[in-house]
Structure 1
């Protein structure tokens, strides 16, 4: 069953699609639902800025009305007595009004609102950038994970083939009475474990493929073949730790987001101050009505009335209504400043961690390369001595497992090195 699964996997991979990490990134940028949502939010922010600027234009309104007047009762002898009615020649009433208002001064409230919407738009842009960086990193994780499991698959398949050939030789020796039955059982057990490990590796590879396909908007069962080189490449240049910190402070979307939140909370404080200032503006009304009941003497006739002037308004209650709102805005402003400092602290911490792990990975690669050489030679010697009846089966199987483990560790260190490199790029806004 395990061999059939392995053969089937080999046959399927013939039709696999070669793909690079750059291509996955490009497809994810087009098909990622998170990126699409954030992009739309950024577009809506641009419209909000335009809407805030449009408030600088004069306010112009029009209204019209038509109705019927009831007879007007007059209670000369009290409300409980019979009323006399004023006769009306025409019960109709109608009118139309055009009104305009233009702000001269409003405590810079309009200016503050425009600034707030502009900051919100920039905040949306930086959130979109952070989303793209995050998606790129998640894609890189899945891509490297797929590379890791495909390399593990090759190593385990090769090891299974060698174990099967070795088991045949051990069985022949057992048939000839040269080795014990326990040697055959131990060899069979190790082979069984490797086949079980292969099944787990194949499943993990399929899960990583599905994850990449979802990022790209492709069918879940599409077979992918990563073509990027495993390990450090010449175009991947590691900078100094201080350079990464400077880049993070200046270019990281997380830092930009925190900065915009501070600016927005400061504008909220300024906006509340503007609410307490008087509002001055030009106004104009042009009114057509019937009947003429606004000016004395009244008349059953239509009339036109136009008024222009300067209007001053001031909300006195804002002085005591907004006291707690002002304090809340100031507290939020201080909170956002601390949050920005916290973002910087976390960026430094994450960069330091990724940087040190990256250096560790390079050391592990060198160590693993030496371990493979040593494990290869050790396995060669024990394989030869065992079949010459000079060593035990347990020593040979341990040597075989150590060699495979050393090969695993080399691939893992190379993948980890690349992942930590991408983590450094993400934290500095360069991924």
Structure 2
């Protein structure tokens, strides 16, 4: 019974799951560890903003102490002579203090810090968007690659069956002394190469399936069956290169990240400037203590004391301590501005590359479709002429290889077209 259950479970894992690219994206959004990590980072940014805002609330503290006093020595004749001790009736000392402070002016420190944390939160959101787009593109790459390998496998399998049937006919002709042994050996060699290629294609498909399974949180050995059709079934509206670049600068998370880093650099300079301004706040203190030794005359009794007022503080050393910090912040700001320009340059470069390849793939499809028609007719003619002893085996095998290559080229162009289109969407923030 246990063996039956184990076999049944194994067969369940091995059954192929029909899967569209959209479904893979949805599962990856839930199971991708990189996306989860970026989401947690974004949540931590939200808490950091709340923490910065909470600093606007008054500071309230309480402290308590208890101790024992020693007898107090009095050196009437100097420290080198014998001391007289003042006897204490009660050696205990204790107190409880409640204090508070509310800042009413701090040179915009708190406001600037809140703005910095808000910018960091936006930065983490854009980083999450970029991570999601990158995962979407990686998933699309793997999905399209799997489609490609499965189509390769289908074509090569058909080619192997065709080669086996052709080899059987050549074997009969060789047994009858009609063709040379070299013809038989060449046909056998081609068949062996095709079988090796088929094995490699199957292994590549298995590797890509594992990659997709990891994205979706499935077992590594789970079989997958892509359901999306290969190639675009209708003409897609293609924007111009300038329109793609405009979209990228407007919506690309990479561009938004670069903008936020520049904004953060500006706020860092503002924060350093605010450190040179004074701080003004209201304070209050209420304490219960024993004994009364703060005010004269002293009393060996507990007492209550309350104090309220205004506190002004100013760090004079910040005038010369922060000079180099400000210069460093200004240099870092210029660095971020240059980095932003570099991001825009790179976006234009990768978009132009994807755009040109996308247009190129569309042109290739038409050429490769014509190549298939020509290669099919060429193979048909040579197949007839060879078995009528009017052409060489090398011509027939070359025609077979050319037909297979033409079919592979067309599928590759269709997959490449989809991939480059996904790349355009990724770089413009629309994938």
- Same fold per superposition (TM over 0.5): yes
Greater Cα shift, 317-326 or 337-346: 317-326
Q: For 2:415 and 2:50, how far apart are their aligned partners in 1?
A: 47
Counterpart in 2 of 1:276?
Answer: 276
Counterpart in 2 of 1:247?
Answer: 247
3-state DSSP of counterpart to 1:150: helix
The equivalences for 1:8-87 within 5 A come to 15-87=15-87
| Conserved? CA contact 2:13–2:221, under 8 Å | no
Counterpart in 2 of 1:295?
Answer: 295
C-alpha displacement of 1:289: 1.0
CA RMSD in angstroms, aligned pairs only: 1.4
Counterpart in 2 of 1:197?
Answer: 197
Counterpart in 1 of 2:408?
Answer: 408
Deviations 1:334-358 (A, max 9, x none): 1111111110000010000000000
C-alpha displacement of 1:107: 0.3
| Distance of aligned partners of 1:59 and 1:170 in 2 relative to their CA distance in 1, 3 Å threshold | same
3-state DSSP of counterpart to 1:115: helix
3-state DSSP of counterpart to 1:101: strand
3-state DSSP of counterpart to 1:78: coil
The equivalences for 1:380-399 within 5 A come to 380-399=380-399
3-state DSSP of counterpart to 1:179: coil
Deviations 1:32-81 (A, max 9, x none): 00110110111111111111111111111111111110111122333333
3-state DSSP of counterpart to 1:34: helix
Q: For 1:382 and 1:12, how far apart are their aligned partners in 2?
A: 47
C-alpha displacement of 1:87: 1.2
| Distance of aligned partners of 1:305 and 1:12 in 2 relative to their CA distance in 1, 3 Å threshold | closer
TM-score by length of 2: 0.96
Deviations 1:280-336 (A, max 9, x none): 011111111111111111111111111111110001111111111111111111111
Counterpart in 2 of 1:160?
Answer: 160
Counterpart in 1 of 2:3?
Answer: none
| Conserved? CA contact 2:18–2:226, under 8 Å | yes
Q: For 1:284 and 1:347, how far apart are their aligned partners in 2?
A: 57
Q: For 2:175 and 2:146, how far apart are their aligned partners in 1?
A: 43
Deviations 1:154-186 (A, max 9, x none): 000000000000001001111111110000000
3-state DSSP of counterpart to 2:309: strand
Counterpart in 2 of 1:309?
Answer: 309
Q: For 2:95 and 2:159, how far apart are their aligned partners in 1?
A: 95
Counterpart in 2 of 1:186?
Answer: 186
Q: Which runs of 5+ in 2 are unaligned?
A: 1-10
Deviations 1:182-225 (A, max 9, x none): 00000000000000000000000000100000000000000000
Counterpart in 2 of 1:173?
Answer: 173
1:109 is aligned to 2:109: yes
Counterpart in 2 of 1:257?
Answer: 257
Counterpart in 1 of 2:143?
Answer: 143
Counterpart in 1 of 2:362?
Answer: 362
| Conserved? CA contact 2:13–2:222, under 8 Å | no
Q: For 1:378 and 1:73, how far apart are their aligned partners in 2?
A: 119
| Distance of aligned partners of 1:239 and 1:54 in 2 relative to their CA distance in 1, 3 Å threshold | same
Q: For 1:84 and 1:51, how far apart are their aligned partners in 2?
A: 56
Counterpart in 1 of 2:7?
Answer: none
3-state DSSP of counterpart to 2:73: strand
1:428 is aligned to 2:409: no
| Distance of aligned partners of 1:84 and 1:14 in 2 relative to their CA distance in 1, 3 Å threshold | closer
C-alpha displacement of 1:12: 11
| Distance of aligned partners of 1:377 and 1:364 in 2 relative to their CA distance in 1, 3 Å threshold | same
